[in-house]
Structure 1
């Protein structure tokens, strides 16, 4: 999103996100308001709306992802890259702010709503770009076949994110060791239908 006028003050950015996290931990998602964040951060509410179009975008940026996603590491293997991805997801979803916000945030992001569409465009699309890079590295190593046989990024994103959410928020499973269990499991599922030694045009079997 393009910005106009004077450059944004990084101190204001940080104050908004810090205030949002503090209020989420204290009041929960339902009790959080833009007015309260503005007061806590010591700024005008207009400064928030210059950075975040809605409460939901502000909460997501504060509780789960900041304005930019972290650089995804190249670990040298598909299983390692997926383990790092799951570790990052677990870290984001187990912070105090995320624990207070995730369920309420998802309830506001209905699949057919304009807000849901904006959320997917603003945040999910960035995650899919990173997963595409992860999969391309696996193709280059010979761990996965090239497109069109290569798994699509949307499916892999769901395979990594869905189980984490289910285990943490539905089954209340402790997160310890989850990345090390789930990352190799997803990698094994993605590579189960083709041996890395098979030629790209292998048929049958």
Structure 2
């Protein structure tokens, strides 16, 4: 995260604040989490926290979804396997104990805070999954993927499926079987392979 004042960032404070935010989120939940409590737990001041993050949502977002979480899109050599792995990683990402506590609050705040909204989009966009464009380009080159398919649309379908499933099934419902079935539908659609074939 950039520092608007231009002063060097102290990584020790950053790490202490992010760790404190994660610990307190697990203890009290998103609604009761405060920047003051995070600063106290981290052994720093509220102004020091606000110099780094504009508010609670921005801080929680970074604490829950560290930069390395979505680094590196899957590249197995098979687009079907890559897609399944993308579904699996997304399900895992959105059902960690911290994500279960944070995501509802972050979604609510994103509806009114354009900066939070942008950060969430960046996290879950094709740019957030570094290397995804290359994965999809390779699949187009091999004939496994239609060149007209948009990376962002794929991600919207994957992430939307995972979010909806956590609501309807609960986080524990995103099982390997759910991952397999969801990936198959995303890959092949919902029609039978022989649909429309001549009798």
TM range (shorter): 0.7 to 0.9
Matched residue, 1:11? 12
8 A contact 1:80–1:184 mirrored in 2: no
Task: Summarize the Cα distance change of 1:122–1:156 in structure 2 as closer, same or farther, 3 Å threshold.
Answer: closer
SS in 2 for 1:74: coil
Shift of residue 159, structure 1, vs aligned partner: 1.1
* TM-fit CA distance, 1:186: 1.3
Q: Does 1:114 align with 2:103?
A: no
Q: 1:77 to 1:164 in 2, by over 3 A?
A: same
Q: Equivalent residues in 2 for 1:41-190 (5 A)?
A: 41-63=42-64, 65-68=65-68, 69-110=70-111, 113-120=113-120, 122-125=122-125, 126-127=127-128, 130-146=131-147, 150-172=148-170, 174-177=173-176, 178-189=178-189
Give unpaired runs (5+ residues) of structure 2: 194-199
- What are structure 1's unaligned runs of at least 5 residues? 194-205
Alpha-carbon offset, residue 70 of structure 1: 1.8
Q: Give CA deviations for 1:140-175 in whole Å, capped at 9, x if unaligned.
A: 2221233xxx21122111111111111112332522
Aligned equivalents of 1:123, 1:162: Cα separation in 2: 14
Match of 1:200 in 2: none
- Provide the aligned C-alpha RMSD in A: 2.7
**Structure 2 counterparts to residues 28-39 of structure 1, below 5 A:** 28-39=29-40
Question: How many residues end up aligned between the 2 structures?
Answer: 186
- TM-score, length-normalised on structure 2? 0.79
